[in-house]
């Protein structure tokens, strides 16, 4: 999951090497003196700068023999970057991976089998949506980190000014009508970049379509079905009610940056995105609200991708024990509760659900989760995300391409990618 909440601007992040992990030979413990340095790859916007700083400080205080070097990675192109790192002799020690990508990385043989650590890490209570994609061929490689699905984050003051009642928005039709009212006077009703493919997936699922289907052990892309085409039609209608670029995703530019500028009424994001916006523009504190992505009818919320991240350890890591200690702390009770509250995430275990009780963002997320879906749980899907013909398809349609023709091309690319890599 593209998941995806904050540009890391803290001193901690600035001190990190952003483009590649440091060589283990450069670690302070290379000669056996000093603490063990571990390199950790976390994804941009997965946690706030404040939470990251607090966790690292707390972890190093509790484990003074381990020093953590966090490196923030971009979602765009991360599949290829992780694949290359796993194949090298210079991999980081811990990697945050989208839950849909773990199977591919495990298939390559580059991940440490953590099956014997499941009980120790309270695996019996893990969320299935994180634990199951983190396993491959009966072995556990990914340790559940957090779960989330997208909601609508909106400006309460702009809604009030436009005379729009967010609580009354229950259907797609009501949503687009409200957004059109907001899209006036220098305010864009919604910032929706052209390539937010997870949002498109929800609209496709709403229509009864899917991204790909499996038959006889073979996968076939299905963006060219009538149902999927109707999903794209609605995306195009909604995207036109703002000024989002047609040929980039939510990271280019980061949509939190856009909303923080004060002229955007809505974005589609995980609830923690509100924290990012407020960090960038403190004047918006108390002016952000949440509601579930509306569905086709008032009695069913819009379909959403229920995603999140797992933490993995490369087999090439030179500090596997320290890496496991890091993961154990970050996925343990204390920090999971803090993370859930800080980012409005769903904790990695069902026994920790009460941590977000009463949180408005989490409440909106929970409503949407009732209509949650997942991408195909197969190694081949990671190849699709790495190449991502869905993004190319969306940009092509939004810039005037024929929807049926572009969907057929994207479906063929999905079919090829999934069956080549499976």
Q: Are 330 and 310 within 8 A, CB to CB? A: no
3-state secondary structure of 13: helix
**Do residues 42 and 309 lie in contact, with contact meaning Cβ atoms separated by under 8 Å?**
no
- Using CA atoms, how far apart are residues 191 and 411, in angstroms rounded to an integer? 27
pLDDT recorded at residue 24: 39
pLDDT level of residue 32 (50, 70, 90 thresholds): low
Q: 314: which strand partners?
A: 111
Cα distance between the two ends of the chain: 20
421 has pLDDT over 60 = no
Mean pLDDT, the chain, rounded, equals: 89
**Residue 10 vs residue 299, higher pLDDT:** 299
8 Å CB contact between 228 and 397 = no
Could you give phi then psi for residue 51, rounded to 5 degrees?
A: -65, -45
pLDDT greater than 70 at residue 116: yes
* Residue 303: φ, ψ to 5°: -65, 145
Give the pLDDT confidence score for residue 6 in this predicted structure: 31
- At residue 73 the predicted structure's pLDDT band, cuts being 50, 70 and 90, is very high
Contact, 379 vs 136, CB < 8 A? yes
Q: What's the confidence (pLDDT) of residue 128?
A: 81
Q: Is the pLDDT of residue 347 over 90?
A: no
Distances 397 to 222, 391, 413 between C-alpha atoms, Å: 16, 10, 16
Phi, psi of 8 (to 5 degrees): -80, 105
Q: Would you say 248 and 194 are in contact if contact means Cβ atoms under 8 Å apart?
A: yes
Phi-psi category of 26—alpha, beta or left, where left has phi over 0 and alpha has psi -120 to 50? alpha
Backbone angles phi, psi at 73, to 5 degrees: -110, 150
Go through the chain and tell me how many residues it has.
422
Q: How far apart are CA 317 and CA 320, in angstroms?
A: 6
Distance CA 67, CA 48 (A): 20
Write out pLDDT tens, residues 43-63. 988 888 999 999 999 999 999
Distance CA 39, CA 269 (A): 28
Give counts: helices (H), strands (E), the chain.
17, 14
Cβ burial of 169 (10 Å; 0-12, 13-18, 19+) is: buried
**Cβ-count burial 122-153 (b if 16+ within 10 Å, e if not):** bbeebbebbbbbbbbeeebbbbbbbbbbbbbb
Identify which has the larger pLDDT, 65 or 149. 65
To the question of pTM greater than 0.95 for the whole model, the response is no
Higher model confidence: residue 66 or residue 306?
A: 66
255-278: burial string, b at 16+ Cβ within 10 Å, e else: bbebbbebebbbbbbbbbbbbbbb
Helix (H) / strand (E) element for 384: namely helix 379-387
Q: Is 80 exposed, middle or buried (CB count within 10 Å of its CB: 0-12, 13-18, 19+)?
A: exposed
Average of per-residue pLDDT across 340-348: 86
What's the average model confidence in pLDDT over 332-343?
Answer: 92
pLDDT number for residue 33:
64
């Amino acid at each position: 999951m593209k998941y995806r909440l904050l540009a890391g601007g803290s001193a901690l992040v600035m001190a990190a090497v952003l483009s590649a992990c440091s060589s283990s030979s450069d670690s302070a413990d290379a000669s056996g003196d000093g603490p063990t340095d571990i390199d950790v790859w976390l994804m941009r916007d997965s946690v706030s700068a404040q939470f990251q700083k607090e966790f690292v400080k707390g972890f190093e205080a509790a484990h003074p023999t381990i020093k953590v070097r966090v490196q923030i990675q971009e979602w765009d192109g991360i599949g290829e970057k992780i694949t290359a790192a796993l194949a090298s002799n210079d991999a980081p020690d811990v990697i945050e991976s989208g839950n849909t990508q773990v199977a591919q990385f495990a298939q390559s043989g580059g991940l440490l089998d953590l099956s014997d650590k499941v009980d120790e890490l309270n695996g019996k209570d893990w969320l299935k949506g994180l634990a199951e994609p983190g396993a491959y061929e009966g072995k556990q490689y990914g340790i559940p980190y957090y779960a989330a699905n997208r909601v609508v984050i909106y400006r309460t003051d702009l809604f009030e000014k436009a005379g729009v009642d967010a609580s009354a928005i229950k259907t797609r039709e009501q949503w687009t009508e409200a957004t059109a009212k907001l899209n006036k006077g220098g305010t864009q009703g919604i910032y929706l970049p052209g390539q937010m493919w997870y949002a498109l997936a929800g609209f496709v699922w709403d229509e009864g379509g899917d991204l790909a289907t499996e038959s006889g052990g073979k996968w076939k892309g299905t963006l060219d079905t009538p149902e999927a085409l109707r999903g794209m039609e609605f995306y195009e209608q909604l995207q036109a009610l703002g000024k989002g670029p047609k040929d980039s995703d939510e990271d280019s530019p980061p949509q939190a940056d856009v909303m923080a500028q004060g002229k955007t009424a809505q974005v589609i994001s995980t609830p923690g995105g509100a924290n990012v916006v407020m960090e960038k523009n403190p004047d918006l504190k108390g002016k952000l609200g949440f509601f579930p992505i509306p569905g086709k009818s008032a009695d069913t919320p819009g379909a959403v991708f229920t995603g999140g991240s797992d933490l993995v350890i490369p087999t090439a890591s030179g500090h596997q024990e320290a890496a496991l200690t890091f993961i154990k702390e970050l996925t343990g009770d204390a920090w999971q509760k803090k993370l859930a509250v800080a980012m409005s995430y769903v904790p990695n275990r069902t026994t920790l659900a009460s941590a977000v009780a009463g949180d408005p963002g989490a409440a909106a997320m929970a409503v949407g989760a009732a209509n949650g879906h997942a991408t195909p749980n197969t190694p081949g899907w990671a190849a699709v995300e790495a190449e991502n013909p869905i993004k190319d398809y969306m940009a092509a349609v939004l810039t005037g391409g024929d929807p049926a023709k572009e969907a057929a091309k994207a479906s063929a690319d999905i079919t090829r990618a999934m069956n080549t890599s499976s």
